[in-house]
Structure 1
């Protein structure tokens, strides 16, 4: 089924310039800093990530019209009836039921409700006083996981209910009342899907169960990462989100190591990782069951490895020195492309960097080695390694990601179906004509003009709100593009090749969106953010090298970025706060969340 686009340190001592050290071993200080940052991030990201409490059993009537009666034990002023939209017998099935209440010895219609969502509590307002309720199946094969009755003024399930009459041949009617402790009074992101989790979280579960996947507009690997969390923790909100959170935490050491490799100092490495840690979009994208975080992780990692080749590859060195980073970069490219096609842009950037390095080597060493020896001893082996690394390895990884698709029970899928899916994905993304209130053009993304509103709570007390929006930390994004431009100018004047990888990565993750005519969102800029941050750190390094007292300004900048993350945390995490607090965070009219 196709998916519509929807719905958010240690301080440096001397700061003299130091060349890029592509090959280095992290020291004890580096390991401690990275470990501390990962732990701190997880301590911030894991609370209220999701719930383990999910109704699992169901009452499933076999025929239309089957019913059961709930005896409430006494006359009860009923305010709400909650029902859980879960998985029905390994299926996400849209079904409907009628709800009646007894008055003066007769049942009268009260409400009609549909199970048209997945893994979330929903409710119907009642506003009646009764001692009995009747549930009637409007469709055959429908299922209810759990039913909860709230008495007026109460926030906990009504105790003492029992099934007093049954007209059903369906499965286990007592299952409708056997998991009352899983009830959450406020249906929220903590206990259910929100935004596009309904596509990726659902499809991840279907891959585990060898079912036909619901969402097929992206390659499978990102959803398989999500499925790994479900396999360990169950089909609950914590289970379908934990993999993305762990990848978000793992991105911090990658940024640290990249900064260490580029700038040679632990302080600047810390700056790179810290700015990523407090970026709003990194936080929201790692706490939702979407696939972007996996693509961004592998894109950043592949450029980390290709930097070694671009800076250090030399015809005079053993071919292994060139082969290892190419192979590792190819593995990351394959994993990224099999997660989301944004990695294909990165593959084009890698091809350009390899071509530039080969040309440079030919120009610098053909006189010393001779054209014949250069070709046979260096150029041809590197080309062979590149073909293996960026064609063979990614192709194998990409095809292996489709194994769950080939193993769907009751269906026969083959290689031609995989090829057809690639064409379908291309046609979908290239031909999408939908509109959306939170879409935005590519040029506006670094300006942080249009957040994507992922979630807002319903049913809270007046004056209280819970919301999640995906956008950038203004301290990082509003200074990002000027920092990229400044970094390009400085590096060009100083002829610093180490930054060419970063500029290429940023350009290939951002500029292709200029030519995309379909619906786009600010989170499409996410894959360019790590390289924008590395440009900012480069400018920081250059400023501290020229003006030592600039370290005070740098410390102030990092502090502002961290404070903004703390201030905006409720709008990024879904924390329940006063409506007035969220209102004060809307700095721009276009910031709707």
Structure 2
């Protein structure tokens, strides 16, 4: 590539990244202090963050008033989620104080913008396409669920950040293994030196330290990694036989080499778990340092801290496993991908007659387009499984190959399927699906990238690109139209009602 063209390309990339992050920042920080009272479950997490910042552990508030003027007590509170997400909320409180919504929402908004940036990086790594990267970032920037969960002091937006960061490191581990041909010609019996795997495990441990559901993607990506390692070794064994000309007794050599590859893959899977799981555990336990290093936390005095912490977790698990109280906005996980039952987090009729609403209504172009793209990627993966070698060849990855598609689909399913299979809790909500939004955005960007790269006449290519431009412009336009009801902007009642497009949105 000529130097001038390369510089122009880098300039275009820099401007595109800045524009996407600026849009994400505006949608997440504009009028962040509105409303000035706690909304939905902020009443739990923000108060935990304030008292945790003061004591190192959550303490009890005198009542459930949604205003912030009441003093908290020194009595320990039974918090049912780990502390890391509340420490992120506390960062904003440390800067802006607890007298304004900026204080308890700034940390989440900053993490939300950072998630858009990480999503662009991950999209670029799986596709090596600047256009795919920018489209993924743009789509996530205007996703209604992600915008709202970045604008409220809840834990799920923070969870999403750590999940995407962990997924990015998992992909870097994949690149590290493939680029170094670590498993070529059967490779070493066990590969222990995997720095990106350690980083990924640490980040997924941090995700679990926000909400326990952060363990789901760790388990899913470890299984995917073990499957990938197995395929790499088996394919390498076959290529080694072909290179060495092992054709005299083909059946004997085939079984022997495949058996060796499978046995080493099993050992590698064990080694991968021994690398990742203790790392995640250490990070998770470290997140409890405030509770461990003080004497007044809930259950802290019940024996040595390891036993007390274990008992605390037994009590937390019992609470979550028996939570079955009905809620007017509970949404079955099967409805999450299409956004059929959003959670109305706040609604107030003001003295002016206007209505202020905060509701994570989905951007349907983004949400439904993402589901269609994920279905297409899943079909692509199933087709590629007929020829496993295609999954691992590096050249195939350069255009969003089969493993890239599998990686994105697994990322999405890891945040959704466990909830579908959870029968012990009925009180689950649509906004839990925010952890799915980065993978949905990448899937949509990958499919759009394939559409734009398909060969055809000049008119056909131009027509497809115009259609993609209209599609993305429509997504941005919907974000502009829905932003008032994502951000609590006072609007006429009819304007709010006009946004209730589906029966479950009312």
TM-score (norm 1): 0.67
Partners of 2:30 and 2:500 lie apart in 1 by: 25
Q: 1:48 aligns with which of 12, 21, 31?
A: 31
1:477 aligns with 2:367: yes
Partners of 1:279 and 1:436 lie apart in 2 by: 25
Partners of 1:203 and 1:378 lie apart in 2 by: 45
Gaps in structure 1 of 5+ consecutive residues: 1-12, 14-25, 51-188
1:489 aligns with 2:397: no
The answer to which structure, 1 or 2, has the higher relative contact order (CA under 8 A, 6+ apart) is 2
Q: How does 1:151-166 map to 2 (within 5 A)?
A: none
Q: How does 1:39-438 map to 2 (within 5 A)?
A: 39-50=22-33, 189-210=34-55, 211-213=57-59, 214=77, 216-236=79-99, 237-310=101-174, 313=177, 314-316=182-184, 323-366=194-237, 368=240, 383-384=270-271, 386-388=273-275, 390-408=276-294, 410=296, 412-413=300-301, 414-438=305-329
User: Once superposed, which parts of structure 1, at least 4 consecutive aligned residues long, lie more than 6 Å away?
Assistant: 317-322, 369-379
The aligned counterpart of 2:440 is 532
* Counterpart contact for 1:245–1:286, Cα < 8 Å: yes
Gaps in structure 2 of 5+ consecutive residues: 60-76, 242-256, 385-389, 391-401, 455-459
* Counterpart contact for 1:487–1:536, Cα < 8 Å: no
* Counterpart contact for 1:310–1:353, Cα < 8 Å: no
Partners of 1:520 and 1:308 lie apart in 2 by: 33
SS at match of 2:336: helix
Gap change, CA 1:43 and 1:514, over 3 Å in 2: closer
RMSD (CA atoms): 2.8
SS at match of 2:505: coil
Gap change, CA 1:240 and 1:327, over 3 Å in 2: same
SS at match of 1:392: helix
* Counterpart contact for 1:311–1:497, Cα < 8 Å: no
Partners of 1:488 and 1:281 lie apart in 2 by: 23
From the two aligned structures, give the one with the greater helix fraction. Answer: 2
Partners of 1:325 and 1:429 lie apart in 2 by: 32
From the two aligned structures, give the one with the greater strand fraction. Answer: 1
Q: Deviations 1:193-232 (Å, cap 9, x if unpaired)?
A: 1111110000011111115443511111101111122122
Partners of 1:478 and 1:384 lie apart in 2 by: 39
SS at match of 2:346: strand
Q: 1:379: how far off?
A: 7.8
Count of aligned positions: 428
TM-score (norm 2): 0.78
Partners of 2:192 and 2:24 lie apart in 1 by: 34
Partners of 2:373 and 2:295 lie apart in 1 by: 52
Q: Deviations 1:469-505 (Å, cap 9, x if unpaired)?
A: 0232111122232221122223444552221111111
Q: 1:47: how far off?
A: 2.5
SS at match of 1:456: strand
The aligned counterpart of 2:337 is 446
Partners of 2:274 and 2:12 lie apart in 1 by: 38
SS at match of 2:351: coil
